[in-house]
Chain A
């Protein structure tokens, strides 16, 4: 028998029991679709993370507190090590190649405006260069300047979503927002920015960092060691000075904190580091998903084997008849193998359609972005075919080895 004849024979058998064929294919359909959907979700996540991190501006250096390491101040009854507000000024003044320095200090507070009350809103205390360094645009009003930061002026700039929640359609500029018990005057609203590295920039409230130190995160040690900060963003002038800036900051802070570089109480990282970490995380996530999907493909293959075994038993008489009119063991083997492969490929094809449309729908209805990766389609489809051949072989072999006399006698 040639391929056309085999395919025709397999098609006749598959189409003669459509419902069963569909159920047989279901495992493969789900397996293939889940491979494609999962890969598209993780790739989408990866792409948006990378895009957003890059969207921050590519010339950023992050200086963060690292509490795991000891500092010289230990044992004086004060918290050991960490970044302080003054470190930011030192970096701005003493490091060459720095374009701007931004400090952030956040707190979670209850926010009131008129009769709207929101709990657990993130208050982000920061400095004057924040919009340019973190790539935020003012939509209405203005941002606060360094003078207002230095003087602890009670002004506030709202994220776009927060402004909408608090004031609706009304103009928020000049209105008063009460954070905890502190009254702040709205001077501006940011344009929409979206999620960046898991932070919703549109739902935050931005105030001078000095106000946060004074009102929301007061520290009894501030007088001795300065106000502690979580992170200092340093924008450099050009990518070429990256290495030099990192080195200068490290030496400067080590000197200021009186620690050696080995036991530094801070980390200096770049965007590249963060992207790499994120990529490693999503890659691990994607591998996990791929394994899960792979397992479901194997389960689908076992489903096909199961049905093919039942089919061989059910069609024993047909096999006997075919043998009696001259079908060789190979003819029978190929017939059943073709059927199994055709079922897998059919399942694979439907699975690809389901996966592609599923990814698209998922991306459309949810916040998550999905990117359909062509290689995942190829991989899923090929795996389906391989699974079909692998799991189709045993039943096909069983059919081929039936004794014609026994098979003809089978009821």
Chain B
């Protein structure tokens, strides 16, 4: 490989559930490369394996077979503890249902990843300062002490984005980030993601909505655990493409 290493490289990744005759391959040989600074969508019908791929990319799960290299680190053989460290300092999650801690203020929610950080020990005060900065950056400077149930869906998702950003991750994984939101809030969240992308963040987003996917540079379509096709979505720096995929103009 030449020049800069890709952020994500999966080589023939398989995920097989069950054993023997009744085993099901949720992922059946997926090889993708995502470069730093890319904004990529993963699309597919339910059962296509996009959630499984997302979990593996997010180091919540390990492939049964194949390799996953994240930022030059082979994470496919790591144990639970190592994976937790990777999730903590290299990955930021944004979930469809926000997944904020209830009865916990926005500020404290954003501080949670800092609490589990190993390589960057901060005092409680320092954590609060960092979390506040990130919350201000996503436009929630005036909602620091609000608990999730006191916030709108869009605001909750902003808190979640702030939490994903607080450890300055290498990769942001968004799982249907607008799925629970009305159109307007959804647009605002997409704008925010665009902004992050503009600032050089690498974002991988799972969605079933073609309109949302169109916001990204590239859409990877999955079907039956395999890559069906990869679509370039208009402008933006061209990404390295995978072998054996068709191109479609939008």
| Chain A residues engaging chain B, CB cutoff 8 angstroms | 1, 5, 8-9, 12, 16, 317-318, 320-331, 404-405, 408
Contact (Cβ within 8 A) B93 A324:
yes
Cβ-defined contact, A408 with B99, below 8 A: yes
A324 contacts B85, CB within 8 Å? Answer: no
Q: Which residue of B lies closest to A329 (CB)?
A: B80
Chain B: interface size category: 20 to 34
> Is B117 a contact of A326 with CB atoms below 8 Å?
yes
B50 CB to nearest A CB, Å: 14
Decide: A326 and B84 in contact? CB cutoff 8 A. yes
Contacts of B85 in A (CB 8 A): 326, 328
Q: Can you list, as one digit per residue, whether each of B109-125 has a CB less than 8 Å from chain A (1) or not (0)?
A: 00011011100000010
Q: Is the CB of A322 within 8 A of B116?
A: yes
User: Given A1-B116, A318-B101, A408-B99, is A328 in contact with B84 using a C-beta cutoff of 8 Å?
Assistant: yes
Kindly provide the distance from the CB of B196 to the nearest chain A CB, expressed in whole angstroms: 18
Tally of A-B residue pairs with Cβ under 8 A? 63
Given the complex of chains A and B, what is the CA–CA distance between A317 and B101 in angstroms? 9
Q: Which of A325, A405, A408 contacts B116 (CB 8 A)?
A: A325
Contact A330 B81 (CB under 8 A): yes
- Given A318-B101, A408-B95, A324 contacting B87 (CB threshold 8 A): yes
Tell me, in angstroms, the Cα distance from A320 to B58 when the chains sit together. Answer: 13
Known: A322-B112, A405-B60, A405-B61. A327 touches B84 (CB 8 A): yes
Specify which of A12, A321, A405 is in contact with B55 (CB 8 Å cutoff): A405
Contacts of A408 in B (CB 8 A): 60, 95, 99
Nearest neighbor of A13 in chain B, beta-carbon distance = B103
CB distance from A248 to the nearest CB of B (A): 82
Chain B residues with CB under 8 Å of A12's CB are: 104
Residues of A within 8 A of B67 (CB): none
**Interchain CA distance A404-B85 in the complex, whole Å:** 14
Q: Separation in Å of the A411 CB from the closest CB of chain B?
A: 10
A-B interface, 7 closest residue pairs, ranked by CB to CB distance from nearest: A326-B88, A326-B116, A325-B113, A328-B84, A328-B81, A404-B60, A326-B87
Partner of A323, one of B84, B102, B163: B84
Q: List 25 A-B contacts (CB under 8 A).
A: A1-B115, A1-B116, A5-B115, A318-B101, A320-B99, A321-B101, A322-B112, A323-B84, A324-B60, A324-B87, A325-B87, A325-B88, A325-B93, A325-B116, A326-B88, A326-B113, A327-B88, A328-B80, A328-B81, A329-B80, A329-B84, A331-B116, A404-B60, A405-B61, A408-B99
Contact with A along B71-95 (1 / 0, CB 8 A): 0000000001100110111000101
Report A-chain residues with C-beta under 8 Å of the C-beta of B58. Answer: 324
Chain B residues lying within 8 Å of A1, measured Cβ to Cβ, are: 115-116
Taking A317-B99, A325-B87, A328-B85 as known contacts, 5 extra A-B pairs with beta carbons closer than 8 A to each other, sorted by chain A number, are: A318-B102, A323-B84, A325-B112, A327-B116, A408-B60
B99 contacts A324, C-beta separation under 8 Å: yes
A318 to B104, CA, bound (A): 11
Q: CA of A220 to CA of B204 in the docked complex: distance in angstroms?
A: 113
Residue on B nearest A401 in the bound complex, by CB: B80
Q: How far is the CB of A323 from chain B (nearest CB, A)?
A: 7
Residues of B near A330 (CB, < 8 A) are 81
User: CA of A408 to CA of B167 in the docked complex: distance in angstroms?
Assistant: 20
CB distance from A62 to the nearest CB of B (A): 71
* Assembled-state Cα–Cα distance A318/B100 (Å): 8
Residue of A nearest to B84 (CB): A328
Q: Which residues of A contact B117 (CB under 8 A)?
A: 326
Question: In the complex, A256 Cα to B167 Cα: how many Å?
Answer: 100
Which residues in A have their C-beta under 8 angstroms from that of B124?
Answer: 5, 8
How many Å lie between the Cα of A329 and that of B80 in the bound state?
A: 8
A317 to B95, CA, bound (A): 13
In the docked arrangement, what's the CA distance between A8 and B117, Å? 17
Whole-angstrom CA separation of A366 from B122 in the bound complex: 57
Minimum CB–CB distance from A251 to chain B (whole Å) comes to 83
